[in-house]
A = this chain, B = another copy of it.
Amino acid sequence: MVDLGVIDRTDDRPPYRQIATQLRRLISTGKLTPGAKLPSESELIEHYGVARMTVRQALQELRGEGLVVAEHGKGVFVRSAPPVRRLASNRFARAHRKEGKAAFLVEAEATGRKATVDQISVTTEPAPADIADRLHLAEGARVVMRSRRYLADGVPVEIATSYVPESIAAGTAITSTDTGPGGIYARIEEQGHELGRFTEEVTARMPTPEERKVLQIGAGVPVMTLVRTAFDVDDLPVEVCDTVKVSHAYVLEYDVPAR
């Protein structure tokens, strides 16, 4: 077992915080490596001579930082570093679409991971207000809504929802589960909307309980949201894609000219 410290009752920091600090140090110094099991609650209680709730509060702190995950009936484990996917800003280059590949698969292939998509749903509905705004549509105009979940090596890493105006999507494979070679963007271009540029808006927040479930992440793991709007060469918005990514699974890369 690892060597734990003791609680200093003269320290003005509360015991649960001291315990958390000592456990945190074990992780950051590598004495506890990813996947390793922390001492059980009982062991910590005995070692530190405190009540159960005090130990649990310390562990709660570490879970809140996303450092550890608790598994019911098994123990508390140091979170294993998930695969990091780098998203380069040229990932929608037309060359890839010409090759008949969807963006997600291209990225995954580049990093040697097995990419899968599931929980696909396709519906046609009135556009939500913010989406209608981004697509320059009248309120209540109908859009094709495509939701799906992406997994890398079987681990959920992202959920995404695309919105395409019905006027563009109608009668194309966009309304099918399988959008065909090259994905949505290839279909949109076939409809005479050659893509000109994208805008992306990035921010981060804590996941909702539902997102936690779908992405299989514990409390204390933040998500990044990326809302991408695709414009054709006439600067007409043709698609909005709202994605929620497990933050530690992604690094977004952008290239910005100095002008």
Report A47-67 CB contacts with B as 1/0, cut-off 8 Å.
000000100000011001110
Binding-face segment, A36-44, A142-150, A158-166, A194-202: A194-202
Which residue of chain B has its CB nearest to the CB of A86? B201
Contact check, A251 vs B205: say whether CB atoms are below 8 A apart.
Answer: no
Which residue of chain B has its CB nearest to the CB of A199? B255
- Among B220, B251, B259, point to the contact of A95 (Cβ < 8 A): B259
Contact check, A201 vs B253: say whether CB atoms are below 8 A apart.
Answer: yes
User: When A90-B259, A222-B222, A224-B204 are in contact, do A253 and B66 touch as well, CB less than 8 Å?
Assistant: no
User: A residues near B, CB below 8 A?
Assistant: 53, 60-61, 64-66, 89-90, 92-95, 195-206, 208, 219-224, 230, 247-248, 250-259
User: When A200-B253, A222-B204, A252-B203 are in contact, do A259 and B94 touch as well, CB less than 8 Å?
Assistant: yes
Contact check, A222 vs B206: say whether CB atoms are below 8 A apart.
Answer: yes
CB distance from A87 to the nearest CB of B (A): 9
Which residue of chain B has its CB nearest to the CB of A60? B60
Contact check, B251 vs A201: say whether CB atoms are below 8 A apart.
Answer: yes
Q: Which residues of B contact A65 (CB under 8 A)?
A: 206, 208
Q: Which residues of B contact A253 (CB under 8 A)?
A: 199-202
User: When A66-B205, A203-B224 are in contact, do A94 and B258 touch as well, CB less than 8 Å?
Assistant: yes
Contact check, A250 vs B197: say whether CB atoms are below 8 A apart.
Answer: no
User: When A53-B53, A222-B247, A247-B222 are in contact, do A206 and B64 touch as well, CB less than 8 Å?
Assistant: yes
Q: Which residues of B contact A198 (CB under 8 A)?
A: 255-258
